[in-house]
């Protein structure tokens, strides 16, 4: 593994106003000295744009205090560009101007169900956008390209926990197919142009200021309005819920350790390429998850103590594109980076409920 010192480096984070992206930028400000962080996001309206604007405002505040030697005292700067990674000229301009040493590609059209009704968005962002990033890394060589893949690539695999050694040739949604395509494209570019790249298969990320299309957030919005929540597969679903800080910790560690460049017996590069799972390694039943969520929403006073959950809960069949279980084998991450996510579901949902109370009750 090639060690990378992030201090003083220029780091490009795509999807910087997104859930994982904004938390990553925040973390880099706190831990990395004199970093120049370039963020790009197209600020699309797939979900409430005001949430993205709020995250961005937080980053700009943090950036100003950092530059003045404030909260972190580590210096550094944050330059935000409103733009789309699917626009080749925009990406080429960024690489030409800033020459990033490390690139973290988190920009993507997310969501399994949305890919059924809006396939174009996935092709543009997840395939063309990622291709533009790879081409830029080819022409302006980087020390490490880290990119988000997804647990969705495991599709309907029966073997659990999911290991990165498993075959992933059976995607059950277009979203999953685009994420698997990203891994294949990255492998080809690693082989052809010796670009050190690492793909990260995220497992059901949740936490404060998350994505409103995710179950925990969507359920909360509906319960607050007195609407009924639908629990798919009649509650017989298990998800490896992973708290956002644990995801970010994994990303930061991996950014600092790139696959090593080596030459094979044929004199050609062995692709400096790797893929890891980042998950909690502990799948939770959806009904247990809903039960903990309701307790924490009452505790945070988002919902009244006498709220009748049974009257607002409906068990329904499985949705197209969904899978019954996600379960991460994180042994490779532990072996290579000495890291295993560990935030409990209760702690994570408590943090979300408290954030939700302060964010929406202030409005």
pLDDT, tens digit, 9 for 90 and up, residues 317-360: 877 767 778 899 999 999 999 999 999 999 999 999 999 999 98
What number is the average pLDDT over the span 16-27?
Answer: 97
Asked if residue 294 lies in contact with residue 309, where contact means CB atoms within 8 angstroms, the answer is yes
The answer to whether position 294 is within a domain reads: no
Confidence at 362, pLDDT banded by 50, 70, 90:
low
Does residue 311 sit within a domain? no
In this predicted structure, what is the pLDDT of residue 363? Answer: 52
45 alpha-carbon distance from chain centroid:
18
Determine the pLDDT at residue 361. Answer: 74
Whether the CB-CB separation of 242 and 284 falls below 8 Å is answered with no
Percent of the chain topping pLDDT 90? 77
In a domain, 354, yes or no: no
229 assigned to some structural domain: no
Please indicate, yes or no, if residue 71 is contained in any of the structural domains. Answer: yes
Residue 301 has which token pair? 């006073």
> Is the residue at 117 inside a domain?
yes
Q: What is the pLDDT of residue 156?
A: 81
Q: What is the pLDDT of residue 72?
A: 46
- Per the structure, the complete domain to which residue 334 belongs is given by 2-204+243-281+326-342
Per-residue pLDDT, 139: 98
Query: Which positions are annotated as active-site residues?
Result: 175
Q: Which of 174, 178, 85 is nearest to 134 (CA)?
A: 85
| Residue 53: HSE in the Cβ half-sphere, 13 Å Cα cutoff | 5
Best CA proximity match to 325, nearest among 238, 240, 241: 238
Q: Residue 6 domain-assigned?
A: yes
CB 208 within 8 A of CB 352: yes
| Residues 252-273, mean pLDDT to the nearest whole number | 93
DSSP-assigned states of every residue in 3-50: E---TT-EEEEETTTSHHHHHHHHHHHHH-TT-EEEEEE---SSS-HH
Q: Which of 1-5, 93-97, 231-235 has the lowest mean pLDDT?
A: 231-235
CATH assignment at residue 180: 3.40.50.720
Residue 218 covered by a domain: no
Mean pLDDT, the chain, as a whole number? 92
* Cis before 161 (ω within 30): yes
Number of structural domains (the chain) is 1
In the predicted structure, residue 67 carries a pLDDT above the cut 70: no
Q: C-alpha 96: how far from its chain's center?
A: 26
Band (pLDDT 50/70/90 cuts) for residue 143 is very high
Model confidence at 27: pLDDT above 50:
yes
The predicted-structure confidence for 68-107, as pLDDT tens digits, reads as follows 444 445 678 899 999 999 999 999 999 999 999 999 999 9
């Amino acid at each position: 593994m090639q060690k990378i010192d992030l201090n003083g480096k220029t780091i490009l984070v795509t999807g910087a106003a997104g859930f994982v992206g904004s938390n990553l930028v925040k973390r880099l400000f706190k831990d990395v000295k004199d970093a120049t962080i370039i963020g790009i996001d197209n600020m699309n309206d797939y979900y409430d744009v005001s949430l993205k604007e709020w995250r961005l405002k937080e980053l700009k505040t943090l950036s100003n205090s950092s530059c003045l030697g404030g909260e972190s005292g580590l210096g550094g700067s944050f330059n935000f560009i409103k733009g789309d990674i699917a626009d080749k000229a925009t990406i080429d301009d960024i690489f030409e101007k800033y020459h990033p040493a490390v690139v973290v590609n988190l920009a993507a059209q997310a969501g399994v169900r949305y890919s059924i009704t809006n396939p174009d968005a996935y092709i543009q962002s997840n395939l063309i956008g990622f291709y533009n990033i790879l081409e830029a890394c080819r022409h302006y060589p980087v020390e490490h390209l880290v990119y988000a893949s997804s647990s969705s690539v495991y599709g309907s695999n029966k073997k659990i926990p999911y290991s990165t050694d498993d075959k992933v040739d059976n995607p059950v949604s277009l979203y999953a197919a685009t994420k698997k395509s990203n891994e294949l494209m990255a492998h080809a570019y690693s082989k052809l142009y010796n670009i050190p790249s690492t793909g990260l298969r995220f497992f059901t990320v949740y936490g404060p200021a998350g994505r409103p299309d995710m179950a925990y957030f969507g359920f909360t919005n509906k319960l607050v309005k007195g609407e009924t929540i639908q629990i798919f597969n009649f509650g017989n679903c298990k998800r490896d819920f992973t708290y956002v800080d644990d995801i970010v910790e994994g990303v930061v560690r991996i950014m600092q350790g790139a696959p090593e460049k080596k030459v094979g017996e044929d004199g050609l590069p062995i692709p400096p390429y790797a893929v890891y799972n980042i998950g909690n390694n502990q799948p939770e039943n959806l009904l247990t998850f809903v039960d903990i969520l309701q307790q924490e929403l009452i505790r945070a006073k988002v919902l009244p103590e006498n709220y009748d959950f049974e009257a607002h809960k409906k068990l329904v069949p499985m949705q197209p594109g969904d899978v019954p279980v996600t379960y991460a084998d994180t042994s490779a991450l532990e072996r290579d980076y000495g890291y295993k996510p560990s935030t409990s579901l209760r702690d994570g949902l408590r943090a979300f409920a408290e954030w939700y109370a302060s964010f929406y009750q202030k409005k």
